[in-house]
A and B are shown apart, each in its own frame.
Chain A
Amino acid sequence: MKIINFDHFAATKMRPEVREAMEPFFMQEYGNPQSIHTLADEPREALNKARLQAAELLNAAANEVIFTGSGSESNNLAIKGTAFARMDKGKHIIVSKIEHFSVLNAVKALAKLGFEVSEIPVDKYGSVDPMDVKNALRKDTILVSITHASNEIGTIQDIKEISKIVHENSGAYMHTDANTSCGFISTDVKELGIDMLSAAPHRFYGPKGTGLFYLKKGIRIMPLIDGGIQEFGRRAGTENVPAVAGAGVACELAKKELKDRTAHLLPIQKDIVSGVLGSLDEVYLNGHPEKRLPNNLNFVVKYIEGESMLMWLNNNGIMVASGSACTSKILKSSHVLSAIGVDPALAQGSLLISLGEDNSLEDAAYFVKELPGVVNKLREMSPLYEEVKKKNKV
């Protein structure tokens, strides 16, 4: 059976070019880039090259790019790094309600240490109103961190406007979590006007085990890992040279292919939306109708639960995710869905699709053909659906 990956936010397949770039640094050029002798030469070169490739994707300078271990680490570095470096200036941090857990749990940890956190609500599309950020700013606000695009509902935020407001009205740093958007829409740091940005190459055909962090020149943060002078002293520890080399190539490919990627993904996304909404009743799409990523879709299928839907689709070779409570390891339904006002019972029917370059229009057609059977089978089993059917009859 053909396997269709509709869960690219979990993992993307590395590009052959990426793997090729990594290969030499496992067995032949295994040196430590920080050594003085010849063994360090090639690995050091590889780091420099990758830094340049990443800088070009972000429109930054090479010495503004730091390689971390993951997108989550980059978020932690932005938030805790700023908090620890600037606690003499204030202890107030602003985030949105729909941030990734690596942001929300980082500020939660800081709150335990005496920092104050404001969580900005979003509207029903998941958009942050820049005016709400303005109103939340205080004299002692040291950081504003708002995601560039939601990893669940795909809504893209107006980071440019938010950043402008933050800088005009406060001394706070502006960070954006671009772990989901980078590689698929423009993440030009100058255009966005931000101080820090997180990105995750494994989300755009790079290797796992490395993250990107943009730190604008002059922005002061405290490292989370102290030790040697690696990564300009901002992240100690021997560099993961193969992964960084691979990440560099993933960045180069992203810059080159950004427009083509959108052009490839949009028709697939469109077919899925019209196919799903056209073939099933009581299903709706979450997130912003226009301001959304080309590679994400989030549906609520009423009266059934996400895990059982996911297991049936899995049976048919289609890999998807869900924000339902039953699929979550902590048995809580998605905080993003609740922030946009989706009732917890409906959030149970959450269906999360994330597309990538290996998907095609045929995949979309196959999915649209298979989904109604799965949904109807589960609805026939659902006491909620039974109630609704009876009500409609009366």
Chain B
Amino acid sequence: MPVYSEKVMEHFQNPRNVGEIENADGIGELGNPTCGDIMKIYIKVKDDKIDDIKFKTFGCGAAIATSSMVTELVKGKTLKEAERVSNEVVAEALDGLPPVKMHCSNLAADALHLAVEDYKARKAGKGPIGRVETPEHDENEHDLLEHA
């Protein structure tokens, strides 16, 4: 098992905002090409703010903890604020992640951004976006794995 921080373990064991939202305003669903995992984030938007947010994740401990954290970070925040939440912000909020697990935090931030995008697309009559495969990460990233 990778060495996870206490925060990661705490979110893994007690994940916040698990579930789905019926009639969600936006859904971000991403497949992770690195390991094949899937993350799905649902948002309910009111006055340009994230009124409610839920997630479902098929993935490792880090994937579950980062999904949980990202939902907690943006609940009640404006869409603009949500768009600014990067994978580093999520990882930091969890007191860091092992290098080999950084790609899981990418997934969480990307799924959130996709949910916001999906909400906007739907509003413009161009949605829903549906499941997206995240682009293959470049080879250099695998250097990280060797350090892990």
Contacts and interface: CB of A to CB of B under 8 A. Distances in A.
**A, B bound:** yes
Interface stretch (A118-126, A191-199, A376-384): A376-384
Contacts of B37: 305, 326, 348
B58 A383 contact: yes
A327 B60 CA distance: 8
Contacts of B61: 307-308, 311
A381 B94 CA distance: 20
B119 interface: no
A382 B145 CA distance: 26
Chain B interface, >50% SS class: mixed
A335 to B, nearest CB: 15
A383 B59 CA distance: 10
Contacts of B40: 383, 386
Size band of the A side of the interface? 20 to 34
Contact of B56 (A310, A345, A383): A383
Contact of A304 (B1, B34, B58, B104): B58
Contacts of B142: 330
B74 interface: no
Contact of B58 (A315, A327, A330, A348): A348
Contact of A383 (B35, B57, B104): B57
Interface in B59-85: 59-61, 63-64
Interface in A365-394: 380-386
Contacts of A382: 56-58
B144 to A, nearest CB: 10
Nearest to B4: A311
A96 B143 CA distance: 29
A333 interface: yes
A305 B39 contact: no
Contact of B36 (A330, A344, A380, A385): A344
A303 interface: yes
Interface string B10-32: 00110100101000000001000
B148 interface: yes
A304 B142 CA distance: 24
Interface of B: 1, 12-13, 15, 18, 20, 29, 34-40, 56-61, 63-64, 100, 103-104, 142, 145, 148
Given A330-B145, A382-B58, 15 more contacts: A308-B61, A308-B64, A315-B13, A324-B60, A325-B34, A329-B148, A331-B34, A331-B100, A331-B103, A348-B36, A381-B15, A382-B56, A383-B56, A383-B58, A386-B20
Interface of A: 303-305, 307-308, 310-311, 314-315, 324-327, 329-331, 333, 344-345, 348, 380-386
Which A-B residue pairs are the 10 nearest by beta carbons? A326-B60, A325-B35, A307-B60, A383-B56, A383-B40, A382-B58, A311-B61, A384-B58, A326-B35, A331-B35
30 contacts: A305-B37, A305-B59, A305-B63, A307-B60, A307-B61, A308-B59, A311-B1, A311-B12, A324-B35, A324-B60, A325-B34, A325-B35, A327-B1, A329-B100, A329-B145, A329-B148, A330-B142, A330-B145, A333-B35, A333-B36, A348-B35, A348-B36, A348-B37, A381-B18, A382-B57, A382-B58, A383-B38, A384-B38, A384-B58, A385-B58
